[in-house]
Amino acid sequence: MIDYLEEIFSTLKQNKLRAIMTGFSVAWGIFMLLLLLGSGKGLQNGMEYNFRGSSTNAIWIHSGETGESYEGLGKGRRIQFTNEDYDMLKRELAGIKNISGRMYLRSSAPLTYKNEFGIYTITGVMPEYNGIEILDMQQGRFVNRLDIDNYRKVIVLSQPIVDVLFKDEDPMGKYIKAGGVPFQVVGTFYDYQNQDARKAFIPISTGQRVFGGANRLANLAITTASTSVEENKQIESEIKSLLARRHRFSETDDRAIFIWNTLEHFRQAQGVFAGIRMFVWVIGIMTIIAGIVGVSNIMIILVKERTREIGIRKSIGATPWSVIRLVLSESVFITAVAGFFGLLFGMGVLHLANMVLMGIAEGNDMVNRMFYNPSADFGVAVSATLILIAAGLIAGFIPARKAAAIKPIEALHDE
């Protein structure tokens, strides 16, 4: 083994510039492959970061106005969701995990605590809503079923509201006023999608009773037990059919209600990034192939320059396989060493970029929404290593065959 390495080093020393330039092309190919894959991963992570505050299998249903006449009713009718819509969907819709209605109190219900005051979005929800919009609970709990049934005046605040109203004071158990009505703080949270979001949640039954909401709902949200877009689309169709019958509008009316299927858009985004990854692999491998051609060329030149040496080796008993092994060893050595430095440099650049982005993102969450944790995982490193070994073997194959085919007499005669 040591003899082989000494021989490889001795051969490459005689062609230093050629070997360095060829090795650089291989290293650059691996470096660009990792950099492109890491960048693609960063974009994909940024997309997934945008979805992290909401279940990926959620369906959001918003009311609109009818866009066409139906059963003697004119177009332009406003569709108003109510608690009965919630009850109907919960009762008749199969394959759902969570369902919640929502109502909003905005400027009509400012929050006050002692001398502090602020106007924030207050949303009335059901307990299941915490399974639809994923919240990072910091203290206490979310709205529960007893709160709904007993019309409790309790409130759950986002941490930015706590920081404004309570300063350094512990908010748990304290009473704040929403629209002049006392509510007890039972929990605090961070919003995964936007940690600066200033919003609060109350039991929807309390909001409807205290703030004159009657039985009206602004919109509905559902999570399904399905992980396939097809099944989710089927549930979406069933939702529209049920609501169309209840509110008497045509199922073909696209303006009566608006449905946002999170899973469908999430899968579409994943498909886009799968295509990007495939494109990156093609570009990276094409770059590596350019390096392979360079390695193959230098090995052909080395074989030509060592024709006499190979002839002498064969004349004293060297087998064709030993000659092939020698050439392949040199080829694999060049690609492996150059590729290793490209791999190391690529991983280092990605790590440095991730550290810089983390520093920037501490003060600007928008960065994470666009580009988050660019990295090349262990699987990519293993794949790159296998590509390097394969590249070395491919690059050395033709020169090795040429070397093995050299006839001792012809080699000595040519010299």
Residue 246 lies in a domain: no
User: How many domains are there within the chain?
Assistant: 2
Q: How far is CA 327 from CA 132, 233, 409, 412, in A?
A: 62, 59, 20, 20
pLDDT tens-digit readout, 175-223: 999 988 999 999 999 887 666 678 999 999 999 999 887 899 999 999 8
pLDDT of residue 11: 63
Please indicate, yes or no, whether residues 47 and 82 belong to a single structural domain of this protein. Answer: no
Q: Which amino acid is at 217?
A: L
Residue finishing a domain among 203, 223, 243: 223
Indicate the SS3 state at residue 15: coil
Is residue 237 one of the residues assigned to a domain?
no
Residues 187 and 105 in one domain: yes
Q: How far is CA 377 from CA 34, 226, 241, in A?
A: 10, 29, 45
Is the same domain home to 365 and 327?
Answer: yes
Q: Is the pLDDT of residue 402 over 50?
A: yes
Domain endpoint, select from 187, 206, 223? 223
Chain mean pLDDT for the chain: 80
Whether 131 and 198 share a structural domain: yes
Residue 73 lies in a domain: no
**Is residue 250 assigned to a domain?**
no
Q: 346-390 pLDDT, tens per residue? A: 888 888 877 777 666 555 554 445 666 677 666 766 676 677 677
- The pLDDT of residue 386 is 74
pLDDT of residue 40: 75
What residues make up the domain containing 93? 78-223
Residue 86 confidence (pLDDT) above 90: yes
Beta strand 58-63 with 257-261 is: antiparallel
Inside any domain, residue 149: yes
Q: Based on DSSP, count helices (H) and strands (E) in the chain, helices before strands.
A: 13, 14
**Per-residue confidence (pLDDT) for residue 80, from 0 to 100:** 93
For 3, residues 6+ apart whose C-beta sits below 8 A from its C-beta are none
- On whether both 286 and 213 belong to a single domain, the answer is no
Local confidence band at 272 (pLDDT 50, 70, 90 cut-offs): confident
Residue 86 has which token pair?
Answer: 């919630």
pTM for this prediction: 0.66
Query: Looking up tokens 């605590």, which residue turns up?
Result: 113
Q: Examine the domain organization and report whether 305 and 380 are in the same domain.
A: yes
142 and 32 part of one domain = no
pLDDT of residue 367: 44
| C-alpha 37: how far from chain center | 13
Q: Which residue has the higher pLDDT, 151 or 271?
A: 151
User: How far apart are the two ends of the chain, measured CA to CA in Å?
Assistant: 30
Whether residue 282 is contained in a domain is answered as: yes
Do residues 101 and 115 lie in contact, with contact meaning Cβ atoms separated by under 8 Å?
no
pLDDT at 50: 63
Q: Tell me if 67 is assigned to some domain.
A: no
- The token duo for 296 is 């193959």
Specify the pLDDT at position 330: 72
Q: Does residue 341 form part of some domain? A: yes
Are residues 195 and 150 located together in one domain of the fold?
Answer: yes
Quick one: tokens of 190? 């961070």
- Say whether both 34 and 87 belong to one domain: no
Tell me what percent of the residues of the chain surpass a pLDDT of 90.
Answer: 28
Q: Are residues 33 and 82 in the same domain?
A: no
Least confident range from 13-27, 263-277, 356-370: namely 356-370
Mean pLDDT of 270-288: 75
pLDDT single digits (tens) 289-330 = 776 777 677 777 767 766 676 677 767 776 767 777 777 777
Element housing 92 (H / E):
helix 83-92
pLDDT reported for residue 4? 60
Whether residues 159 and 273 share a domain: the answer is no
Shared domain for 185 and 316, answered yes or no, is no
The residue ranking higher by pLDDT, 174 or 302, is 174
pLDDT digits (tens, 9 = 90+) for 57-80: 888 999 999 998 888 888 889 999
